[in-house]
Homo-oligomer: A and B are copies of this chain.
């Protein structure tokens, strides 16, 4: 059941520090970033960073490798690719909500006026 994996991936990214960390890792590319460096960049205690990185790793979104004393984390593009693929196929009307609807980005623009009509 891949839905389960998708849920874990979504949950992993649905957290401020983890989303930020993942973005940095994506930007960093193959080289990756050491856990401590990441903790320093995001200004969170090492133990907290470790916790969040473990969550990302558990969700399969990042990989780790040791480089001497440091542990380098890298974004797993294939996993992210898979997540995007699932969302596109299952949550975008089957035929990619991209390209279909031409360039509307409500999450970028709308400030979300009000949800409840009182």
Contact = CB atoms under 8 A, between A and B. Distances in A.
A56 to B, nearest CB: 10
Interface residues of A, number: 55
Contact of A23 (B75, B81, B85, B90): B90
Interface in A1-60: 2-3, 5-11, 13-16, 19-20, 22-23, 26-27, 29, 57-58, 60
Contacts of A109: 82
A6 to B, nearest CB: 6
A117 to B, nearest CB: 9
Nearest to A7: B14
A7 B2 contact: no
